C-alpha cells in the first residue's frame, strides 16, 4: 500500500533523494523548500503525487499554514520527515549573535514548531510517524560545531519527551543519526569570523581537516536514505537509528565514556539523597 509523506528541506541532499525514491516507488510526497522551482522537473513527471510548498522553518506562522495545506490537500499524511536544517561552523567565541539566533531558529525551534504543528492532524487521523533527522552530533560533539550540536542535542531531548506524550495516540518517532555523509552539507556551512587564537587548538585542527579534505566522510547518501525509508516502513522501529560506521562507533564510544564517568560518581550521587 502506498504512503503519503511530508518532507522538509527537499530541494537538496537527503531530502531530495528521499523525495525521488518515494515518488519512484509510487508514494505521494509533500515536499517543502525555500526556493520555488527547484522540483519542477519532478512535478512534471509525477504530477499530483508531488505537492511542492514553500516553507522557511524560521517562519512559525508559515509552518502552521503549510502544515494545514498539506493535510487539507492530501487528506492523510503517514510520515512526516523533519529534515530541513544547516550547520553553523566555528569556535563558540567566533560566532555572531545573529548567526546563533538563526541556527537555533532553524534547526531547533523550527523543528519543534513543525512537530507541534503536525501533532493535532496526526491525532485526528488516528496516528502517524515523525522522522526527525538529527545527527551523530546529537549524541557526541566535535570542536567548531557547538551551536549545531546544541540544536541536535536539543531536538533529541524534545523528541524523546514528546514521544512519550503522544504514544497513546498512535504517534511514534524515529531519530535518524547519520555520521558524516557525502551530501552538500559542507558547502552549506555558515562560518563564524576566524580568530587566530584558535589556530593551534582542536578547533583549528577541525577547520584545517575540512579545508584540505582530510576530514573523513564515510556515509553514502543513497544508502542512508534507503535505510531511513526502510526504518520508516517498519511496524515498530527503534527510537534512534544510527547510520554509517562513523556514527555507530562514535556514538558507542561517547556513550561508553559517559557511562564510565557516571559509574565512577555513584557514591557521590547517592550521598546527595535525603538521609
Q: Tell me whether strands 190-191 and 88-89 are parallel, antiparallel or unpaired.
A: parallel
Q: How far apart (Å, rounded) are the C-alpha atoms in residues 148 and 210?
A: 16
207 belongs to the catalytic site: no
**What's the burial of 24, exposed, middle or buried (CB within 10 Å: 0-12/13-18/19+)?**
exposed
Measured from the Cβ of residue 274, the count of other Cβ atoms closer than 10 Å reads 3
Looking at residue 86, the DSSP 8-state letter turns out to be -
Q: Which of 3, 140, 152, 207 is catalytic?
A: 152
Q: Which of 134, 135, 146, 246 is catalytic?
A: 134
Q: Which of 111, 135, 142, 148 is catalytic?
A: 148
Question: How many C-alpha atoms does 218 have within 13 Å on its Cβ side?
Answer: 11
Q: How far apart (Å, rounded) are the C-alpha atoms in residues 259 and 263?
A: 6
Q: How far apart (Å, rounded) are the C-alpha atoms in residues 220 and 223?
A: 5
260 belongs to the catalytic site: no
Triad 57, 99, 10: Cα angle to 5°: 30
198 belongs to the catalytic site: no
Catalytic residue positions, numbered: 134, 148, 152
Amino acid at each position: 500500500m502506498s504512503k503519503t509523506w511530508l518532507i522538509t528541506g527537499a530541494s537538496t541532499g537527503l531530502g531530495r533523494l528521499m523525495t525521488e525514491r518515494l515518488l519512484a516507488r509510487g508514494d505521494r510526497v509533500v515536499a517543502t523548500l525555500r526556493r520555488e522551482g527547484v522540483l519542477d522537473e519532478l512535478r512534471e513527471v509525477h504530477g499530483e503525487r508531488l505537492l511542492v510548498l514553500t516553507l522557511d522553518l524560521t517562519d512559525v506562522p508559515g509552518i502552521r499554514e503549510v502544515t494545514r495545506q498539506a493535510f487539507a490537500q492530501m487528506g492523510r499524511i503517514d510520515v512526516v520527515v523533519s529534515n530541513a536544517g544547516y550547520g553553523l561552523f566555528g569556535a563558540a567565541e567566533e560566532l555572531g549573535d545573529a548567526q546563533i539566533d538563526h541556527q537555533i531558529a532553524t534547526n531547533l525551534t523550527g523543528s519543534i514548531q513543525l512537530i507541534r504543528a503536525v501533532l493535532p492532524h496526526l491525532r485526528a487521523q488516528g496516528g502517524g510517524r515523525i522522522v526527525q533527522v538529527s545527527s551523530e552530533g546529537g549524541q557526541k560533539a566535535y570542536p567548531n560545531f557547538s551551536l549545531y550540536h546544541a540544536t541536535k542535542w536539543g531536538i533529541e531531548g524534545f523528541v524523546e519527551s514528546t514521544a512519550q506524550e503522544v504514544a497513546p495516540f498512535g504517534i511514534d518517532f524515529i531519530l535518524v543519526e547519520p555520521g558524516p555523509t557525502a551530501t552538500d552539507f559542507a558547502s552549506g556551512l555558515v562560518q563564524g569570523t576566524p580568530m587566530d587564537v584558535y589556530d593551534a587548538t582542536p578547533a583549528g585542527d577541525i577547520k584545517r581537516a575540512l579545508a584540505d579534505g582530510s576530514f573523513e566522510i564515510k556515509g553514502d547518501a543513497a544508502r542512508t536514505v534507503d535505510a531511513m525509508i526502510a526504518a520508516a516502513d517498519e511496524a515498530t522501529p527503534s527510537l534512534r537509528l544510527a547510520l554509517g560506521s562513523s556514527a555507530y562507533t562514535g556514538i558507542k564510544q561517547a556513550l561508553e565514556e559517559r557511562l564510565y564517568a557516571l559509574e565512577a560518581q555513584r557514591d557521590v550521587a547517592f550521598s546527595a539523597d535525603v538521609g
